[in-house]
């Protein structure tokens, strides 16, 4: 079953992309979750859908690849990330308001573009729920570039991002440029979402950024350990999800997320067993 993934080029593209997003999505997701920004990933993914619909519309109307849905999705996502930051500074007391504004704006725009194109066929379905056969070699190269950028920025600014995530006020007092670092972070989120969409799909991309982290923070001691665990969970989810999705002919978005949910439930059970074990030992 797994052998096919090494045999055919389109499956190779999918597998390599999957392994890359299994690494970068939970890695960035670790910061997103502890900063309580999980819903921002959702908002950005819906704007990415609008960008994809725009790209599909251009493809359909002009029958030419002036701009591919992948790039237009990424462009929309990056622009939306800038808007979110603007909105968060306008509504300082209601920063979460930026999320429904951007999310509904994204869905609204998607509906407009989809209607203008008189609907799409399977292409849109693939973008919504992911596909094992949708990644081209050029998509893979773009995703490799995105992954290298994300890994480099996270590596270079790890300590500043960690400090901002834990205690923003302390970071600002210490002289960290909170606004600039935060902006860089949101930009990375937009890029990771765009990179993940081919495999997981718009509707489930935020799950790959949050579910492995939700499982890891129940078990880990410390932030670095939590990141390592979340990446392991992310990779297991992607590989198991891709292979089972391919085998059962189900969009991989669904199988990846279901694998993540199983891992999360297992993590919760392990944590409960650990607590019971230690309580019993201390009682004895």
Partner 1 sequence: MKNTVISMRNVDFDYDQKPALQQINFEIPQGAFMGLVGPNGGGKTTLIKLILGLLKPQRGSIELLGTPINKFKNWNKIGFVSQKANTFNRGFPATVEEVVSMGLTAKVGYLRFFSRNHREKIKEAVDQVGMAAYLHENIGDLSGGQQQRVFIARALVSDPELLILDEPTVGVDTEHVQKFYELLHKLNHDKNITLLLVTHDIGTMTRHATNIVCLNKTMHFHGNPDQFSSLSDAELSNYYGHALNLVSHEH
Give the footprint of partner 1 on this chain (CB under 8 A): 34, 36, 156-157, 159-160, 162-163, 165-167, 169-176, 216-217, 220-226
Find the shortest distance in angstroms from Cβ 35 to partner 1. 9
CB-based contact 26:55 (threshold 8 Å)? no
Find the shortest distance in angstroms from Cβ 3 to partner 1. 38
Task: For residue 147, give Cα distances in angstroms to 23, 195, 275.
Answer: 9, 8, 37
Q: Which is nearer to partner 1, 170 or 179 (CB)?
A: 170
CB-based contact 214:50 (threshold 8 Å)? no
Find the shortest distance in angstroms from Cβ 281 to partner 1. 16
Q: What is the Rg, in whole angstroms, of the alpha carbon atoms belonging to the chain? A: 19
Find the shortest distance in angstroms from Cβ 276 to partner 1. 17
* Sequence-ordered list of residues with C-beta below 8 angstroms from that of 208, at least 6 positions apart, any chain: 21, 22, 25, 26, 29, 196, 200, 234, 237, 238, 256, 257, 260
Q: Which is nearer to partner 1, 125 or 166 (CB)?
A: 166
Find the shortest distance in angstroms from Cβ 226 to partner 1. 4
Q: Which is nearer to partner 1, 187 or 220 (CB)?
A: 220
Q: Which is nearer to partner 1, 176 or 186 (CB)?
A: 176
* Nearest-angstrom CA–CA distance, 238 and 232: 10
Q: Which is nearer to partner 1, 30 or 77 (CB)?
A: 30
Nearest to 142 by CA among 47, 190, 74, 42: 74
């Amino acid at each position: 079953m797994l052998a096919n993934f090494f045999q055919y080029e389109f499956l190779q593209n999918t597998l390599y992309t999957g392994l890359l997003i299994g690494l970068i999505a939970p890695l960035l997701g670790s910061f997103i979750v502890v900063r309580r920004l999980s819903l921002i990933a959702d908002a950005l993914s819906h704007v990415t859908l609008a960008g994809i619909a725009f790209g599909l519309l251009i493809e359909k109307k002009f029958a030419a690849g002036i701009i591919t849905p992948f790039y237009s999705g990424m462009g929309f996502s990056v622009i939306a990330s800038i808007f979110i930051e603007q909105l968060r500074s306008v509504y300082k007391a209601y920063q979460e308001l930026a999320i429904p504004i951007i999310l509904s704006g994204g869905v609204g725009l998607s509906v407009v573009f989809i209607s203008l194109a008189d609907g799409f066929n399977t292409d849109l379905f693939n973008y919504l729920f992911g596909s094992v056969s949708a990644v081209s070699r050029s998509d893979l190269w773009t995703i490799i570039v995105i992954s290298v950028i994300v890994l480099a920025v996270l590596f270079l600014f790890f300590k500043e991002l960690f400090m901002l995530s834990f205690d923003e006020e302390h970071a600002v007092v210490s002289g960290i440029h909170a606004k600039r670092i935060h902006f860089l972070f949101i930009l990375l989120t937009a890029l990771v979402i765009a990179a993940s969409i081919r495999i997981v799909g718009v509707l489930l991309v935020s799950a790959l950024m949050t579910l492995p982290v939700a499982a890891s923070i129940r078990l880990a001691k410390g932030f670095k350990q939590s990141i390592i665990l979340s990446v392991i969970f992310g990779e297991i989810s992607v590989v198991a999800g891709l292979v089972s999705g391919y085998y059962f002919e189900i969009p991989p978005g669904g199988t990846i997320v279901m694998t993540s949910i199983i891992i999360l439930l297992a993590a919760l059970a392990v944590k409960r067993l650990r607590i019971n074990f230690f309580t019993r030992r201390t009682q004895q």
